[in-house]
Homo-oligomer: A and B are copies of this chain.
Amino acid sequence: MNATPRWLNPEQQAAWDGFIRMQEKLIGRLSRRVQADSHMSPADYIVLAKLTEAGGRMRFMDLTKLVEWEKSRMSHQVARMAKRGLVGKEDCPDDGRGAFIVATPAGREAIEEAAPVHVEHVRRLFIDALTQEELDALGRISNRVLAHLEKQPD
């Protein structure tokens, strides 16, 4: 309805385009590497990482909140991982609805093997591209955007 929508100015456009392109390529490459040399999806990776960091046994919803996912996503994810033997589910005695999700030995082994490879790729593809000042700047910028998002409706 707006006859002259407020398009981005060239600098804004350049920043946005560059960011999008970079983010797509970087994330894409990283997840394909993880997949290829750990036989794990990024989702598998982060779930196992957070889960084992927390001792390898957690309530479903706690884990879900920890990684900031919605429950349905986690439910599907855990189901797939359970089928592949990376985690198990146990009933919660205190709460009839609840479930614990538990890293299996295979799961622990998988993440311990994957983690150093993963960090090495992060370093190679991302960290090594930038100076520490640039990293700091990016960190600050990211946090500003995050803070902004939380104040924003929707």
Contact = CB atoms under 8 A, between A and B. Distances in A.
B143 A18 contact: yes
Contacts of A129: 144-145, 147-149
Interface of A: 2, 5-8, 11-12, 14-16, 18-19, 21-23, 25-27, 29, 33, 68, 115-116, 119-120, 122-130, 132, 134-139, 141-149, 152, 154
Interface of A is mostly: helix
- Count identical subunits in the complex: 2
B149 A144 contact: no
A116 B22 contact: no
A15 B149 contact: no
Given A12-B127, A16-B127, 20 more contacts: A5-B116, A8-B119, A8-B122, A11-B132, A12-B123, A12-B132, A15-B138, A16-B122, A16-B126, A18-B139, A21-B68, A21-B146, A22-B149, A23-B23, A26-B149, A33-B154, A129-B149, A130-B141, A137-B141, A138-B138
Residue in A14, A23, A26, A142 whose Cβ sees the most chain B Cβ within 10 Å: A142
Nearest to A21: B146
